[in-house]
Structure 1
Amino acid sequence: MKRIAVLTSGGDSPGMNAAIRAVVRKASYHGVEVMGIFHGYEGFIEGRMELLDLGSVGGIIQRGGTKLFSSRCPQFKEDRYQYQGIEKMREANVEGLVVIGGDGSYRGAHALSQKGFPCVGVPGTIDNDIPGTEYTIGFDTALNTVIESIDKIRDTATSHENSFVVEVMGRDAGDIALWAGLAAGAESILIPEESYNIDDIVNRIKRGEARGKKHSIIIVAEGVMSGSELAKILKEKANIITRVSVLGHIQRGGSPSARDRVLAGRLGAKAVEVLLEGRSGRAIGINNHQIIDYDIEEVFINKHKADVTLYTLSKELSI
């Protein structure tokens, strides 16, 4: 290959820029040009792109978000738009594509691969919900953002002797809630992958009050219910009054952590290697500290699972 392209799609995550940089510089090292496609699959369909050289990805490794911008493109699910994008790429002499994103982005990459256009997926999502890889780009940064926020909420909860419900992102995956709750010492954690018992939450709060504790932190992933809904249930069930904090999109932003920068560099470089080896329809990931590639179809066949041992541990430590 002499020219490949890279795009970011779906929700942005800290470290995407570091991954873009890795793709461009790894390809340049091998004498391959890289076209940056703007606004995800929307830009792919329209051929909205420009050549990225070494200088154009300088100074972005520390920036959150994505230099190439992102968007959601429902029409890309249709074959005609996929073929339209492939034709745009061929007109620009682009021979392969690195897609940085989550599950929906991978589905687009898989569809293109099935149509004979070489694609490789790099996991960029704060939800950490891509099967086949232990960690995704952006998860560590989002996690630290959430922990910092919870720490600050606990300061005011302690000062005013209030209990707080903190709603975090995680529609289908509870990794952010689980890891942040364990790291920040939350009294209760609710995630989509595990059933919850409202009586158990109430009892934990009551046990704390019985030994003189005046505040509690309850973390709920948005996929379970909203923070306001949980607060309403606690009030109706046991007359427990809580304040609600919805962290929202603050979780997506910020300068990527060292771990995310290194992960993005390793995954982005591996994606280029796979394309230059003439392979397509692959997903890049990390397993037991080793960078791997595997069939992208595994992402759709398998289901993300929360670490049950962490969930159990969180309950044991918040007794």
Structure 2
Amino acid sequence: MAKGIRKIGVMTSGGDAPGMNAAIRAVARACSYYNVECIGFYRGYQGMIENDYCELNARSVRNIISTGGTILKSARSQDFRTKEGRKKAADNLVALNVDAMVLIGGDGTFKGGEIFSNEYDIPVIGVPGTIDNDIAGTQFTIGYDTALNTVVEAIDKIRDTASSHDRLFFIEVMGRDAGFIALNTGVGAGAEEILIPEENLGLDRMLESLRRSKRSGKNSSIVVVCEGDKIGKNVYELADYVTENLPDYDVRVTVLGHMQRGGSPTCFDRTLASRLCVKAVEMLLDGERDIMVGLINNQVVGTSLKEGIKSGHGINKELLRISDILSV
């Protein structure tokens, strides 16, 4: 055990993701196993600044592994962006005898953690929790698998009504800068077209694809649109453009929105959260710091926070090719 690590803090920050509660549970129980105190801060960095916390132990986290959201709440703290805010947070950690932190969140959480650790010499370990799956250093982030299943189930239901009424549906999914959800659910749900920010396919190509679908005898179609797609200003503009240029289509729009963040996490996300957070606690106890834990080739590995907050791993272009083949 690293000298001086007697109490570990944990927080969830940024957008909530299914599996965050499983992650909190794993941190608390790993601490209990290794006879280390555990404290949870509410609303991420804001809770650290406001000294808003609770004691966590093996029993206080019972029955949360199956629940969505986060019992510690989540927020994006503007105060923590200031030196004054970070100093207040550091002073509170010192007063509470917190020796190290486990940070569950995305790239914004990790950026804040890296700055905080460098300024105040407080060891931190990052755990990737975001449905967008846009973090370097891991093939999967906590919440991503659950979001995929939520979206596929929704698209399957929408396809029922699309087929019944011979309609074209544009379905917008989350992903401000990354198209992982759109690409994988589009293939999994059999979408005719998938629009993602990484590949600007253009309006003409989209129209030609829809014309080809019509000529092949399809009376209904599904187009999955990532919210960060660059073809149009938004999904409604895309729908209007198609209506103007392909009047034979009866076009509808569905924005899935925040339903993608909710729900009971899948077995994969519960297991991933458990593996990553046990490793995070063990790394801190071994004297490691400023690292993000991730899953590569089914092995839990560590990556520097600096690497983890870079642009993330690239999309699988093979899936785009497969989507084109299967949309005939």
The answer to whether TM tops 0.5 is yes
Match of 1:132 in 2: 137
Write the distance in 2 (CA, Å) between the matches of 1:79 and 1:279.
Answer: 25
Q: What TM-score do the two structures reach when normalised by structure 1?
A: 0.98
Write the distance in 2 (CA, Å) between the matches of 1:172 and 1:185.
Answer: 23
Q: How does 1:20-169 map to 2 (within 5 A)?
A: 20-115=24-119, 116-169=121-174
Say which of 245, 257, 261 aligns to 1:248: 257
Say which of 289, 302, 308 aligns to 1:280: 289
Match of 1:226 in 2: 234
Q: Percent identity?
A: 48
Report the alpha carbon displacement of residue 209 of structure 1 after superposing the two structures with TM: 1.7
SS at match of 1:244: strand
Report the alpha carbon displacement of residue 199 of structure 1 after superposing the two structures with TM: 2.0
Match of 1:318 in 2: 327
Report the alpha carbon displacement of residue 73 of structure 1 after superposing the two structures with TM: 0.6
Write the distance in 1 (CA, Å) between the matches of 2:321 and 2:277.
Answer: 34
SS at match of 1:56: coil
Q: Deviations over 1:249-282 (max 9, x none)?
A: 0000000000000000001111101111111110
Report the alpha carbon displacement of residue 227 of structure 1 after superposing the two structures with TM: 1.9
Write the distance in 1 (CA, Å) between the matches of 2:93 and 2:130.
Answer: 25
Report the alpha carbon displacement of residue 242 of structure 1 after superposing the two structures with TM: 1.0
Write the distance in 1 (CA, Å) between the matches of 2:45 and 2:224.
Answer: 34
Q: Counterpart of 1:87 in structure 2: which amino acid? A: D
Report the alpha carbon displacement of residue 126 of structure 1 after superposing the two structures with TM: 0.3
Report the alpha carbon displacement of residue 232 of structure 1 after superposing the two structures with TM: 1.2
Report the alpha carbon displacement of residue 302 of structure 1 after superposing the two structures with TM: 4.3
Say which of 187, 199, 203 aligns to 1:198: 203
Q: Counterpart of 1:294 in structure 2: which amino acid? A: T
Write the distance in 1 (CA, Å) between the matches of 2:151 and 2:296.
Answer: 24
Q: Counterpart of 2:164 in structure 1: which amino acid? A: S
Matched, 1:270 2:275: no
Match of 1:2 in 2: 6
Q: Is the 8 A contact 2:135 2:311 kept in 1?
A: no
Write the distance in 2 (CA, Å) between the matches of 1:26 and 1:163.
Answer: 50
Write the distance in 2 (CA, Å) between the matches of 1:79 and 1:119.
Answer: 18
Write the distance in 2 (CA, Å) between the matches of 1:300 and 1:64.
Answer: 25
Q: Counterpart of 2:245 in structure 1: which amino acid? A: K
**Paired positions, count:** 319
Q: How does 1:8-19 map to 2 (within 5 A)?
A: 8-19=12-23
Q: Is the 8 A contact 2:174 2:226 kept in 1?
A: yes
SS at match of 2:185: helix
Which moves more between the two structures, 250-259 or 71-80? 71-80
Runs of 5+ in structure 1 lacking a partner?
none
Please, what is the CA RMSD of the aligned residues? 1.1
Q: Counterpart of 1:26 in structure 2: which amino acid? A: A
SS at match of 1:164: strand
Write the distance in 1 (CA, Å) between the matches of 2:39 and 2:76.
Answer: 20
Match of 2:218 in 1: 213
Write the distance in 1 (CA, Å) between the matches of 2:244 and 2:137.
Answer: 42
Q: What TM-score do the two structures reach when normalised by structure 2?
A: 0.95
Write the distance in 2 (CA, Å) between the matches of 1:20 and 1:131.
Answer: 22
Change (3 A) 1:79 1:145: same
Q: Counterpart of 1:163 in structure 2: which amino acid? A: L
Write the distance in 1 (CA, Å) between the matches of 2:26 and 2:218.
Answer: 49
Q: Is the 8 A contact 1:41 1:76 kept in 2?
A: yes
Write the distance in 2 (CA, Å) between the matches of 1:150 and 1:246.
Answer: 11
Q: Counterpart of 2:295 in structure 1: which amino acid? A: I
Which moves more between the two structures, 199-208 or 115-124? 199-208
SS at match of 2:258: helix
Report the alpha carbon displacement of residue 231 of structure 1 after superposing the two structures with TM: 0.2
Report the alpha carbon displacement of residue 301 of structure 1 after superposing the two structures with TM: 3.7
Report the alpha carbon displacement of residue 294 of structure 1 after superposing the two structures with TM: 1.2
